[in-house]
Amino acid sequence: MRLFFTYLFLLVFASSRAGITPVSGKLQKAIDSAKPGDTLLLKKGVYREGTIRLTKSLTLLGEKGATLDGENKYEILHISGHDIVVSNIQFQYAGYSALDDYAAIKLIDANRVILENNTVLHAYFAIHISNTYNSIVRNNIISGKPKSEQLTGNGIHLWKCQNALIEKNKITGHRDGIYFEFVTESTIRDNTSEKNIRYGLHFMFSHNDKYFSNIFRNNGAGVAVMYSKKVVMHKNLFEENWGASAYGILLKEISDSEIEQNYFIKNTVGIFMEGSSRIKIGNNQFSNNGWAVRVQASCDDNEFYQNNFQGNSFDIATNGRLVLNSFTGNYWDKYEGYDLNRDGIGDVPFHPVSMYAMMVEQNPTTLILMRSFIVSLLDKAEKAMPALTPIDLNDSKPHMKPHKL
């Protein structure tokens, strides 16, 4: 119903700009003949015209069943310009080119472009955007047919863009579901990115962005945020990202960011941190992960507060004894302390890094001993007389009950 009203709005909006011109023949010819501000309504049918170029301020709408087919050879729609709308069209079988990054929809050197309510099937890159400002990619369904990582492009790919909105899209079967490189002041929200070969979302050198209320499920390696700063990550679900190098989030060389009110459920690693600084990680749920959080010794000045750690094989793991991060007010289901004054806070600190976790970090083959009696005995002995675990890595105010998120 919402899509219907959006489509109706676009029709009314387009009608207010100029008359609607039905198109049932050559689309490129209709575009070439149209005047800026016109609206073209692509009639139901399959159109095979090679690469169509749109450089005018037009609204291009499609009837149900209007399909542009790249015949596995061509880039389908190449857009450049400003004040352009493309809505309610199916794009299928875009071609492949390792040199030119063919896409079903390529947007380059543009401003104020809306790509909305489209379906993209079996494309190398589905939507490829570069050097563009104020673009909106909303309510699109993108489904690829994954091959190898090298032969599959990204679902929604942005390079050198600003003020983009990526909203309510469903992406599956690509290399990265959503890819940002040199993208600033942009928002990713309410998307579902799942079953992609590599990452559900991949950030590179992108600052002052935010992503929230997205679902990243069953991707090859989860989400990666690299070489970026001031990234806000709120209210996302990271679920079932399993594999030898799979994470809910991989953080590499990232600083001054926020990770709050997220759910990390059934991932190999909830959060993996390397070279990360000044990140606030609070009010998150970590449940049934292999490792909830792995913090490398290269990380410093990060704050973990009011998180819930429940049902994880390892809550915290690190590869060094130097403690440069803080943990306070978290709930740990492995906490065995007491609360004599009944203020809801444990009276003795909790040390979330076990001796066995340290052993596994140094020698992964020791995972074969998981839940054995000897491991339990070693961990009990280490708690009594710490020798290998970082004694200063502790939560001085562990909560006795889970936080309400």
Using alpha carbons only, what angle is made at residue 203 by residues 113 and 299, rounded to the nearest 5 degrees?
150
pLDDT at 320 over 90: no
pLDDT at 384 over 80: no
Give the pairing of strands 291-295 and 201-204: unpaired
Mean pLDDT in residue range 297-318: 94
**Gap between the Cα atoms of 193 and 172, Å rounded:** 6
Mean pLDDT in residue range 83-101: 93
Q: Between 292 and 369, name the one with better pLDDT.
A: 292
The band of 389, judged by pLDDT with boundaries at 50, 70 and 90, is low
Determine the pLDDT at residue 146: 77
The band of 375, judged by pLDDT with boundaries at 50, 70 and 90, is low
Determine the pLDDT at residue 9: 47
pLDDT at 6 over 90: no
- Candidates 84, 89, 75; CA nearest to 44 is 89
**Is domain 47-384 given the CATH code 2.160.20.10 in the classification?**
yes
Determine the pLDDT at residue 11: 47
**Gap between the Cα atoms of 327 and 304, Å rounded:** 5
pLDDT at 3 over 50: no
Q: Between 148 and 94, name the one with better pLDDT.
A: 94
pTM over 0.85: yes
- Please say whether the beta carbons of 250 and 202 come within 8 A: no
Judged by phi (left if over 0) then psi (alpha if -120 to 50, else beta), residue 9 lies in: alpha
pLDDT at 101 over 70: yes
- Please say whether the beta carbons of 395 and 328 come within 8 A: yes
The band of 275, judged by pLDDT with boundaries at 50, 70 and 90, is very high
Exposed, middle or buried by CB within 10 Å (0-12, 13-18, 19+), for 192? middle
Mean pLDDT in residue range 201-220: 96
Give every CB contact of residue 57 below 8 A, 6+ residues apart in sequence. Answer: 36, 37, 81, 82, 83, 84
The band of 148, judged by pLDDT with boundaries at 50, 70 and 90, is confident
Helix (H, G, I), strand (E, B) or coil at 195: coil
**Gap between the Cα atoms of 157 and 79, Å rounded:** 15
What are the pLDDT digits (tens) for 108-138? 999 999 999 999 999 999 999 999 999 999 9
Give the pairing of strands 20-23 and 39-42: parallel
The band of 183, judged by pLDDT with boundaries at 50, 70 and 90, is very high
Give every CB contact of residue 188 below 8 A, 6+ residues apart in sequence. Answer: 166, 167, 178, 180, 201, 209, 210, 211, 212, 214
Mean pLDDT in residue range 3-19: 48
**Gap between the Cα atoms of 119 and 87, Å rounded:** 9
Q: State both tokens at 366.
A: 């020791």
- Average pLDDT across the chain, whole number: 89
Mean pLDDT in residue range 264-280: 96
Backbone angles phi, psi at 47, to 5 degrees: -115, 125
The band of 321, judged by pLDDT with boundaries at 50, 70 and 90, is confident
Determine the pLDDT at residue 15: 44
**Gap between the Cα atoms of 135 and 26, Å rounded:** 27
Task: Give Dmax over CA atoms of the chain in angstroms.
Answer: 82
The band of 243, judged by pLDDT with boundaries at 50, 70 and 90, is confident
Helix (H, G, I), strand (E, B) or coil at 174: coil
Mean pLDDT in residue range 260-287: 97
**Gap between the Cα atoms of 302 and 280, Å rounded:** 6
Determine the pLDDT at residue 185: 98
Domain ranges of the chain: 47-384
Determine the pLDDT at residue 140: 98
C-alpha 320: how far from chain center: 29
Residue in the structure block whose two tokens are 């880039």: 75
What are the pLDDT digits (tens) for 15-74? 444 579 999 999 999 999 999 999 999 999 999 999 999 999 999 999 999 999 999 999
